[in-house]
Amino acid sequence: MTLQPNALKNLYKILYPKNMSNQLKIITAKRAGFCFGVERAVDMAFITAQNSSNVYTLGPIIHNPQVIDKLRSEGVEPISTIESRDIKVLIIRTHGVPREVLETLSRKKFRVIDATCPFVKKAQQYAKLLNEAGYQVVIVGDEEHPEVKGLMSYAGNDVVVINRAKMLPKLKNKVGVVVQTTQPLSLLKEIMLDMLEHIKEIKVFNTICNSTSLRLKETKTMAKAVDMVLVVGGKNSANTTQLATLCTSMSVPTYHIETASEIREEWFSCVRSVGITAGASTPDWIIKEVEERIKARGGRAPNGHPNKGRNKRTRKTLC
């Protein structure tokens, strides 16, 4: 049977009444967006750009393309080598750099600003301490991540990187453990349980950033209460991807987007509530644009305040 145009319109009105979009509830996670370390690094970059020329970052200062573009517009360029003669100021990214790179930079004539996250610095110190105390250092994390590459340089020649349980290589009987700061606590627990069956002496420094744990916990709670989740942040951001993976594992329709322009109308079919969370490197202005995009189609936050109670530490220069 073929429906006539008018019949199709009537059917659409029944399935998607006009007041349906007005009932769409928006819940934005309180800890969505910049963490302390990222905010600190971005602030340092913008302030440096205002007072200096020929400013560069060694690699992207954070994993967010939109922030990198905004910094570039202010004259801060990411580079992959420190040999350029144009460098007057070089900023070290939040993830830190290998020990040998720092040693090389100390011999350069240009100014170096270290924007390494303090929590990453602490993890580096613990890795060095364990190595000097005779422990074989195990790093729980992603071997290809810049933070882990930096940690490895402090951990000695027999360092091992593990990113999943049940995949333990042969280890020594005296092992020290540090963790990539953005890894979930659940992974550390799984790996520790596995290690306890095989290793006699283990010393563990839980170097997971508290912000990471709280963000994951908050996102998990939020995902249980909504019909769909939008995870906002760079596609190259490990902790943002981690949030998307968590929500997907809960069988909640989840979309990882970088900006509001990626939002599609068809995602909202039969959706009455949407949750918004964001990675630690996502600026507040991008989260607000996502909220406004949903509000434009009739979405509302509880009490009409999408940002109520949220962390608002983002620099004005990013808004």
Beta bridge partners of 278: 232
Residue type, 232: V
Could you say which of 77, 143, 147, 201 is catalytic?
Answer: 147
Tokens standing for 97? 């750099």
> 178-190 in b/e burial notation, b at 16+ Cβ within 10 A?
bbbbbbbeebbee
Task: Please give the single-letter amino acid code of residue 92.
Answer: I
> 103: closest CA among 154, 67, 160?
154
- At 153, the amino acid letter reads S
Are the C-beta atoms of 286 and 69 separated by less than 8 Å? no
Which two structure tokens, joined as six digits, stand for 254? 């989840």
Are 57 and 76 contacting, i.e. CB atoms less than 8 angstroms apart? yes
> Using CA of residue 47, residue 50, residue 52, residue 54, what is the dihedral sign?
positive
Write out the DSSP string of 143-210.
TTSHHHHHHHTTS-TT-EEE-STT------SEEEEEE-TTS-HHHHHHHHHHHHTT-SEEEE-----H
Tokens read off for 287: 């989260």
CA atoms within 13 A on the CB side of 28: 30
Question: What tokens does 155 get?
Answer: 């951990």
Is 147 one of the catalytic residues? yes
Active-site annotation, residues: 147
